Amino acid sequence: MAKSTNTEDKILESASQVFSEKGFNGARMREIADTAGINKGLLHYYFKTKDALFEAVFKVAFKQLISRIQHILEMDLPLYEKIDLIVDTYLGMIMKNPSLPNFVISELNKDADRFIKRNISKKETQIFAKFIALVDQEADEGKIKRIDARQLLMNIISMIVFPVLGRPIMQVIFGTDNDEFKSLLLERKQHIKEFVKDALKP
Amino acid sequence: MAKSTNTEDKILESASQVFSEKGFNGARMREIADTAGINKGLLHYYFKTKDALFEAVFKVAFKQLISRIQHILEMDLPLYEKIDLIVDTYLGMIMKNPSLPNFVISELNKDADRFIKRNISKKETQIFAKFIALVDQEADEGKIKRIDARQLLMNIISMIVFPVLGRPIMQVIFGTDNDEFKSLLLERKQHIKEFVKDALKP
DNA sequence: GTCTATATCATGATAGAC
DNA sequence: GTCTATCATGATATAGAC
């Protein structure tokens, strides 16, 4: 990831970093400016308000979190291959950006309903309808056990995202240090794929 | 839940509510006082600082989120019964307090490492060791497929907690309104139990 | 475009009357 | 214990020089 030389991009990078760590309310314009190596005045020159800057950052983060899944859901692939692809790409992406899910989800939960209404379009419904059709079809063919496609996708995404999101909780429950937990996460791709396939066996 | 008449408890209730919704940085002492029906001065009379008040609230919330699981892990039960019990009690509790996981996890992620060190004791490790032994034993007896107990528990907790935590995300991916999603959650207890048992079949 | 200096406002916290 | 009034701080945002 090459550091931007352009000022606006430098601001967006720093803002993304600070907002992710501290959240909207915890982030300080001062800290964003310092991180970007500029002064506060210049922040407001590029982005009128803190809200505007946040919007710009959040939009990118949200898209980053959701677009890969949607893309894979749209592809023409047998179910098992699709599941493997989701697990590999999504868990990989999240382990590279472990603060991303917490950032998006925390902020989203502050004003969930408004956001949901703004972001559900026909497109989402159509993409997902395709996945439902695939699951039903493979069940018809006897390749997998019959299952509610929504519950199935929810299971998969949960098992991918939650361990990273809830790492502190899990470590306390397990009584596990950072290193041991990290190795658990590394084994997780393989584990989830097998677990889901076992659950789907007809 | 009877409203407290005692002032300190009234403060704690209001603080819990406001902190859960807004987080530490978003919460205002002013709003907490208003919600409790008292003035700001009195807040500081009972709890010297905002930090102190937060600590008191967070402690309870964290315990609420983690103690049930630990309690069930400690019980003497066959694995399947234990799993059913975890799913039923935990999902029930979280659906009654949907903002609880987001609150605890968001705040925890702000300073994860310090917290983990403070909260891992021998006790946690011992409780969890018992669960590992149970899983291994039932695998030895051929009752279930051999599996890493840590991954198994992580799967179960993920599937319980994440859908409530990441509801906004899931609704956008599904293109689903609040009512439909709620009915999905209601079916979820049964679904998770079956899904896990299918995955564990030898 | 970039900086410094300043205006404006809201918040957490305190002091002191009752 | 409870209230009102006030302080001190630190934040966003703006104005204006360069």
Q: What is the pLDDT of residue A3?
A: 59
Angle (nearest 5°) at CA A135 between A131 and A136: 115
Q: State the CB neighbour count (10 A cutoff) for residue A150.
A: 22
The one-letter amino acid at A167: R
- Rounded to whole angstroms, the distance from the CA of residue B125 to the C1' of nucleotide C10 is 46
DSSP assignment letter at B48: S
Q: What is the pLDDT of residue B95?
A: 96
Q: Which tens digits make up the pLDDT trace of B17-32?
A: 999 999 999 999 999 9
pLDDT, averaged in runs of 10, over chain A (202 residues) = 79 98 98 98 98 97 94 96 98 96 96 83 88 98 98 98 96 92 97 98 96
Which range, of B30-34, B119-123, B186-190, averages the lowest pLDDT? B119-123
Q: Is B142 left (phi over 0), alpha (psi -120 to 50) or beta?
A: left
The token pair that represents B51 in the structure block:
């930090």
pLDDT at residue B52 tops 90? yes
Q: What is the pLDDT of residue A111?
A: 85
Nearest to A25 among B25, B175, B196 (CB): B25
Mean pLDDT of chain B: 95
pTM of the shown model: 0.95
> B50: burial class by Cβ within 10 Å (0-12, 13-18, 19+)?
middle
Q: Residues in chain A, how many?
A: 202
- Rounded to whole angstroms, the distance from the CA of residue B89 to the C1' of nucleotide C9 is 47
| Contact in structure between A157 and B107 (CB atoms under 8 Å) | no
The token pair that represents B180 in the structure block:
């439909």
The one-letter amino acid at B168: P
Which of the nucleotides lies closest to B42 (Cα–C1')?
D2
The CA–CA distances, whole Å, from B32 to A111, B55, B124 equal 19, 15, 34
What residues of chain A lie within 8 A of the CB of B157, using their CB? 162, 166, 170, 173
Q: How confident is the model at residue B117 (pLDDT cuts 50, 70, 90)?
A: confident
Which range, of A122-131, B86-95, B158-167, averages the lowest pLDDT? A122-131
Which range, of A188-197, B35-44, B106-115, averages the lowest pLDDT? B106-115
Q: What is the pLDDT of residue A143?
A: 98
SS3 A2: coil
What residues of chain B lie within 8 A of the CB of A109, using their CB? 99, 102, 165, 167-168
Region B54-69: what's the mean pLDDT?
Answer: 95
The set of long-range contacts for B110-115, using a CB threshold of 8 Å and a minimum separation of 24, is B110/A21, B110/A22, B110/A23, B110/A26, B112/A167, B112/A168, B113/A178, B115/A168
The CA–CA distances, whole Å, from A28 to A107, A136, B22, B50, B117 equal 16, 49, 17, 19, 28
Nearest to B116 among A110, A161, A171 (CB): A171
Footprint of strand D on the protein (CB under 7 A): A 27-30, 40-41, 44, 48-51; B 7, 38-42, 45
Q: Which residue of A has its CA nearest to B62?
A: A169
The reply to whether the CB atom of residue A4 sits less than 7 A from any atom in nucleic acid chain C is: no
pLDDT at residue B5 tops 80? no
| Contact in structure between B70 and B89 (CB atoms under 8 Å) | no
Q: Which residue of B has its CA nearest to A193?
A: B199
Mutate to test the interface with B, among A162, A189, A198 (most CBs of B within 10 A): A162
Q: What is the pLDDT of residue B3?
A: 59
Q: In Å, how far is A96's CA from the nearest CA of chain B?
A: 16
The reply to whether the CB atom of residue A174 sits less than 7 A from any atom in nucleic acid chain C is: no
Which of the nucleotides lies closest to B47 (Cα–C1')?
C13
Q: Which residue of A has its CA nearest to B185?
A: A151
Within 8 A by CB and 6+ apart from B71, the residues are none
Region B40-65: what's the mean pLDDT?
Answer: 97
